[in-house]
Amino acid sequence: MTLVLTIALAKGRVLSPTLKLLSDAGFAPSEDALKTRRLIFPDVKEDVRYLLAKPVDVPTYVEHGAADIGIVGKDVLYEAQADVHELIDLQYGVCRLVVAGFKGTDVQSVRKVATKYPHFAKEYFGGLGRQIEIIDLNGSVELAPLIGLSDCIVDVVETGQTLKENGLMPLAEVAQVSTRLVVNRRSYQLRAAEVDAVVKSVQSALTKGALA
Ligand code: PRP
């Protein structure tokens, strides 16, 4: 079998619905991606292989052509500012990017914002005409206001449980995000037929899922 396409899958919360979508679209990864420690493995039916990557790295793999296709959240995609072709809004992994902090915090007067989303944060506060200091963090961002490192955070909220358990609350919405299928620009031109076949299968599975 000739290897045709490489698909980078984001580990973490969108992996499970991504695997369901791939299965509905007729793909069959040779490994259980939720359990395996292998980072690269083929499909047993189609001429594709999969890379399992940290979400923040998926845009990089696709931009540089290490993967032809990537499936990753719009939040990560926008932050990466990667030069990739965004083809499908897969409409799962929907969550909100919010400014969050202690009750009563005035969003118009914050100075320090802790986040792993500096682009979103700068754009949002820039839109309010505010210059802010970004505190770059990589996770557990909710800690920052708790220990006085920042006035608030910009972060994703899914269930709201993390904010609640840490005595914080959403103060303003920055954006709604969902999972996207992206394609390397060169692959989109040079492997148009193969990319198109994957895209069609995925789109058809999405439509069937939506109608079910
Ligand atoms: C994300 C986000 C919040 C949490 C929100 O973190 O940064 O901390 O999920 O989810 P919830 O609204 O359902 O509670 P993630 O689990 O990706 O880990 P991280 O803190 O290490 O980034």
Q: Is residue 193 pLDDT above 60, yes or no?
A: yes
The contacts of residue 17 (CB under 8 Å, 6+ apart) are: 92, 93, 179
What is the model's pLDDT at position 1? 42
Q: What is the pLDDT of residues 72-106, one digit of tens each?
A: 999 999 999 999 999 999 999 999 999 999 999 99
What is the model's pLDDT at position 4? 84
Q: Which ligand 1 atom sits nearest the alpha carbon of residue 160?
A: 12
Calculate how far, in angstroms, residue 156's C-alpha sits from the geometric centre of ligand 1.
7
Calculate how far, in angstroms, residue 87's C-alpha sits from the geometric centre of ligand 1.
26
Q: What is the pLDDT of residues 108-132, one digit of tens each?
A: 999 999 999 999 999 999 999 999 9
Q: Say if ligand 1 is within 6 A of residue 189 CB.
A: no
What is the model's pLDDT at position 211? 65
Q: Is residue 2 pLDDT above 60, yes or no?
A: no
Distance CA 77, CA 67 (A): 15
Of residues 183 and 2, the one with the higher pLDDT is: 183
Name the closest-CA residue to atom 19, ligand 1.
139
Q: Say if ligand 1 is within 6 A of residue 209 CB.
A: no
What is the model's pLDDT at position 209? 79
Percent of the chain with pLDDT over 70: 97
Q: Say if ligand 1 is within 6 A of residue 155 CB.
A: yes
pTM above 0.95, yes or no: no
Pocket test for ligand 1, best of 76, 140, 156 (most atoms within 8 A of CB): 156
Calculate how far, in angstroms, residue 43's C-alpha sits from the geometric centre of ligand 1.
30
Residue type, 147: I
Q: What is the pLDDT of residues 37-52, one digit of tens each?
A: 999 999 998 899 999 9
What is the pLDDT of the chain when averaged over all its residues? 95
Q: What is the pLDDT of residues 142-192, one digit of tens each?
A: 999 999 999 999 999 999 999 999 999 999 999 999 999 999 999 999 999
DSSP character string of the chain: ----EEEEEE-STTHHHHHHHHHHTT--BSS-TTT---SEEEBSSSSEEEEEE-GGGHHHHHHTTS-SEEEEEHHHHHHHT---EEEEE---S-EEEEEEESTT--GGG--EEEES-HHHHHHHHHHTT---EEEE-SS-TTHHHHTTS-SEEEEEESSSHHHHHTT-EEEEEEEEE-EEEEE-HHHHHHTHHHHHHHHHHHHHHHHHHHH-
Name the closest-CA residue to atom 2, ligand 1.
156
